[in-house]
């Protein structure tokens, strides 16, 4: 069953407007960005031209111009969609020139899709200022998986939210192979290693494996470094974490503190943005028998959902007191403790209020 995701609904509304901005859709691989654009294309009342830089090798800026001119030649009200645009060297400069040529006529609507946040942001900041809007297509949520596959919380925690793998959940080995070989490995080996400078690929892979071994846990970079088989340094590990985060695989949460220096020097909490990534790297399954691990998955899923909804998500710890997540919202600070079993004492939240003296919500 296909559903029309929220990002598709938002994008479709924007494309109908008289305003003319490039619409940039970012998000991880295999969450339905291309499917969503195809759904929009089927409903579009004018001509449509779809092109993907993931299907040509090597793509060039001239390739962008060729597809742009094809769409331009289709006439009034044409829609141009270019997928995996970040793989084209010099893409933002060429898009800027072509868009500026067409901007006054408003005859061409342009949508760019990308699955590498850092590279997209760099290109947009350098050349496309004032010309684009961003829509994020995140991992699937529990309500979406319930609507599409009839899943409950147990299935969602076990298998995450990759729609293409949903039909394989009856065979764990086959499902795990799909997640590893069709989602994780293409991102690590094809996307990130080809688009960013990684001097030690083996160390890069080991670092990602360790990120998944400590879901939603605070871990010092020195400790992380000490568990790697190859030598590296903290600066290298930070760079790798930025790349994983830029590919929408994890979110690195900093400690909530009134001091920016303390915040930067604190140990991060690493939240994988899809529990499928975590379980696909484990040999034992299902996790139901391991109560502690099941609790970790639950906290990971909560953290991922918070990161999907809010820009600023952190954690807090002072001595033995801890708050799992601290979220900045328009209404103020929200302190969240995650409990997956019986309701236990809420000492962390009380300690947060007492130490920070911040008016917050539970």
Tell me yes or no: is domain 6-136 CATH 3.40.50.300.
yes
Instruction: Select the more confidently predicted residue: 232 or 25.
Output: 25
* Per-residue confidence (pLDDT) for residue 125, from 0 to 100: 73
Arithmetic mean of pLDDT over the chain = 86
Hey, what are 19's tokens?
Answer: 């305003």
Instruction: Select the more confidently predicted residue: 292 or 304.
Output: 304
DSSP 240-256: HHHHHHHTTSEEEEPBP
* Nearest-angstrom CA–CA distance, 158 and 234: 32
Instruction: Select the more confidently predicted residue: 13 or 260.
Output: 13
Residue 202 scores a pLDDT above 90: no
Instruction: Select the more confidently predicted residue: 20 or 347.
Output: 20
* Per-residue confidence (pLDDT) for residue 22, from 0 to 100: 94
For the segment 302-309, the average pLDDT, to the nearest whole number, is: 94
How many residues comprise the chain?
362
Q: Please list, in sequence order, all residues whose beta carbon lies within 8 angstroms of the beta carbon of residue 76, skipping any fewer than 6 positions away.
A: 46, 107
In order of 81, 266, 349, 356, the CA distances from 254 in angstroms are 36, 7, 17, 16
Question: pLDDT-derived band of residue 331, with 50, 70 and 90 as boundaries?
Answer: confident
For the segment 316-322, the average pLDDT, to the nearest whole number, is: 82
33-86 pLDDT, tens per residue?
A: 999 999 999 999 999 999 998 876 778 999 999 999 999 999 989 999 999 888
* Nearest-angstrom CA–CA distance, 215 and 273: 10
- Domain ranges, ordered by start, for the chain: 6-136, 142-245+270-293
Hey, what are 9's tokens?
Answer: 């609904």
User: pTM score, two decimals?
Assistant: 0.85
Enumerate helices (H) and strands (E) in the chain, giving the number of each: 17, 12
Question: Which of 18-32, 123-137, 210-224, 273-287 is the most confident on average?
Answer: 18-32
* Nearest-angstrom CA–CA distance, 75 and 325: 51
* Per-residue confidence (pLDDT) for residue 356, from 0 to 100: 57
Place of tokens 């009380």: 350
Question: pLDDT-derived band of residue 261, with 50, 70 and 90 as boundaries?
Answer: very low
333-344 pLDDT, tens per residue?
A: 888 888 776 655
Residue 229 scores a pLDDT above 60: yes
Asked if residues 81 and 41 have their Cβ atoms less than 8 Å apart, the reply is yes
Residue (of 303, 310, 195, 181) closest to 242 by Cα position: 195
Of the listed ranges 12-26, 119-133, 307-321, the one predicted with least confidence: 119-133
């Amino acid at each position: 069953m296909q559903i029309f995701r929220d990002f598709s609904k938002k994008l479709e509304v924007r494309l109908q407007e008289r305003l003319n901005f490039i619409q940039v859709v970012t998000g991880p691989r295999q969450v339905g960005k291309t499917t969503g654009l195809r759904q929009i294309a089927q409903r579009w009342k004018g001509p449509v031209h779809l092109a993907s830089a993931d299907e040509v090798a090597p793509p060039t800026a001239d390739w962008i111009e060729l597809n742009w001119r094809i769409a331009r030649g289709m006439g009034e009200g044409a829609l141009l969609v270019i997928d995996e645009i970040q793989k084209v060297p010099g893409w933002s400069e060429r898009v800027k020139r072509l868009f500026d040529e067409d901007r006054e006529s408003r005859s061409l609507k342009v949508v760019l899709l990308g699955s590498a946040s850092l590279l997209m942001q760099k290109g947009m900041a350098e050349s496309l200022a004032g010309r684009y809007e961003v829509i994020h297509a995140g991992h699937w949520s529990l309500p979406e998986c319930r609507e599409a596959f009839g899943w409950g919380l147990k299935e969602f925690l076990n298998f995450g939210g990759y729609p293409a793998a949903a039909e394989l959940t009856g065979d764990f080995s086959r499902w795990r192979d799909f997640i590893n070989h069709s989602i994780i490995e293409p991102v690590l080996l094809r996307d990130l290693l080809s688009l960013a400078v990684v001097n030690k690929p083996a160390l890069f892979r080991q670092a990602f494996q360790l990120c998944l071994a400590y879901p939603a846990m605070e871990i010092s970079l020195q400790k992380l470094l000490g568990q790697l088989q190859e030598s590296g340094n903290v600066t290298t590990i930070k760079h790798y974490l930025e790349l994983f985060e830029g590919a929408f695989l994890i979110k690195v949460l900093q400690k909530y503190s009134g001091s920016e220096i303390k915040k930067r020097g604190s140990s991060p909490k690493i939240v994988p943005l899809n529990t499928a990534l975590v379980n696909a790297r484990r040999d034992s399954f299902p996790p139901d028998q391991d109560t502690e691990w099941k609790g970790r998955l639950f906290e990971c899923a909560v953290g991922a959902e918070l990161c999907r909804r809010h820009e600023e998500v952190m954690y807090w710890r002072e001595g033995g007191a801890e708050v799992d997540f601290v979220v900045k919202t328009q209404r103020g600070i929200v302190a969240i403790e995650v409990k997956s079993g019986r309701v236990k004492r809420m000492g962390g939240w009380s300690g947060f209020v007492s130490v920070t003296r911040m008016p917050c919500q539970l």
